[in-house]
Structure 1
Amino acid sequence: MRPRVLMVGSAPEERGGIGTVTTLLLRHGSRHADIRMVVTHREGPAAMRLRLWLSGTARVAAALVRGQVDVVHAHVSERGSVVRKGLLVLLAKAFRVPVVLHCHGAEFADWYRGLPGAVRRGIAWTFRRADLLVVLGSSWRNRYVELLGVLGDRVVAFGNPIELPASVAKPAGLKVVFLGRFGDRKGSAAVLRAVAGLPVELVMAGDGEVAATRALARELGVPAEIRDWLSFEERDELLASAHVFVLPSRDEGLPMALLEAMGHGLVPVVSPVGSIGDVVQDGENGLLVPPADAAAIRQALASLLADDGMRARLAKAARSTVEPFAIESYLDELAARWRSLTG
């Protein structure tokens, strides 16, 4: 039986991991389920966001009233997203429709701990009403169970899905890539400081503090190519030509950019925060560095420069590690979960 899945969340074209995951599920999910997307959030003026949330919620309610939904699959991060999706959980449960909360928030735990006790209890109660929580790794699974009191069998670690390139072939040289939001949380300034004077090509792309990052590159004399947010096609073209992926973040879920880079055979030089440590093992399929530690990043890059054999071994292992995250396998498992909720 093909379940009728109502997917709810930010617009697929929005920048970031949630938009990418949503795009992949919509692009590939039709062989497993009848998926309909309702957008309840898009970046923009407050009045527009309010109208979109109200109209999206009304569309969800109408589908539930008409009996057109077997499963509600809602993407949630933190802050306002928790409020919006919490109301949808209660709405769906009023119609006895099972709910999957797909949890993406890299800052959820710190945000949640900073809330007043009564608010925390209300959020925890709402999350416990969901039939299944999909999280981004075993460390996040443990956090949600401990923080919210959700039963362990209702929380599953799925990672993030990716489209794997058919083959990987790299040009000569050493091209280092940073993909993400420029700023303190992702450690972009530390990347610039780390590569100063090293014989590598650095390309950085994303949103956030783009102008400040370009100014810092000029100040440090680093001839980095610093680009704005890339399209999927531009991203894949860049990763196909690169050798090392650097992301020394202070906190994360499980970055899509990391998995995509490993799928293209890049060696990850990353910090073991969030669920990154579930995927990258130091010296086995990448190199781990402390968050935003320019000296450690520099040492890691220097070791890859000095040892072509190690770089090739880590790149091959990185690619093998993320093969289970291929969208086809991911959807097989997710669709089985959808069906189990409707059976």
Structure 2
Amino acid sequence: MDLFDSPFVHPAFIEAADGRICAGPVQQVHQGGYRFHYENKRSAPSLGASYATLWGHGYGPIGGCFLDLDGRHQRNEADFRSGLKALIDKAGADFLIWPYFPIEAREFQWLRAFLVDHFGPSASMLMRRAHQRGFLDCRTAQDAGLTLSRNKRKLMGRQRRRLEEMGAVRFVSTRDGLDDGEALEAFLKVEASGWKARKGTALSVVPALNAFAHDFLPPLLAEGRARIDLMMLDDHCIAGLVSLQAGRGLFSWKTGMDEVYKRFSPGVHILHHLSLQALADPDIDYVDSLADAGHPVAEHIWGGHRAYAQLFVPLSAYGRVGSLSHSAAADGKQQARYWAKRLLGRI
């Protein structure tokens, strides 16, 4: 899983997100294909130590910082180290927080070596929130590939037949000529037709998120770095999936479904459809679900997993104390949230 690609450091995504899904301003350091984006912060849990948080959040849950815009796709340690050095000098922080770092990537070892070379043999990192997420390896038909049990295949077949009794079922995509604007509006509508709208997380019901989606998706769709797939019942969209592409990876960013058809699992069907297309596409090596561990859809049909963690990287003795305090406070907050949910019966 030596992958460090990220669609979330594309300039259109960063510009649309700054001030909308993050407080900003987002600072930038570029070196080769590495694009380090971060925010400078200081807080009470860090005991006053300043820190820089690398780009990584709920709308861009991957800490890879490589984006190959010129087609060379050359990752090398010299560029990574040079970018890190420039980031540290520019940020002037006591420690770094790096969410969603893909710890199986070679950059994890490069980061360790960089710290030892620059801060001595006692240099270390803290690792928190380690987890694995659903991952489809398109290069193999076993283990990390598409894995559907016999019972799951039979269930999906029955669901498809029941839907076809109600109308014509088809999949349409911006990759096959579907108008980009039409596809985006159809997706936003179907995403807002269920629980996401009630919870207030659907893109179209939050003005800042709606503007964010309308700003960054059109240019990525035009460049072929994004796609929207829709599952149609006659002329009615019952499920939609927005995916982003970086390098040889595809990232299933947002999904939505019409809850009227929930019993037919349209979300499963559209992800299965995308999976089959990715497996047949010679330009795609993998699909990252971008989902939490234990996702009820991706992990039922994909056999692979990819490991991530949040890294706390001290850059000084003061930074080491501040990062320990900050990580401990974050752990305590997470535990409090967990027990609150248990008391409320939500888990």
Report TM bin, short chain.
0.3 to 0.5
Q: TM-score, normalised by structure 2?
A: 0.34
The structure whose residues are more often helix, as a share, is 1
Which one has more relative contact order, counting CA pairs under 8 Å at least 6 apart? 2
TM-score, scaled relative to structure 1: 0.34
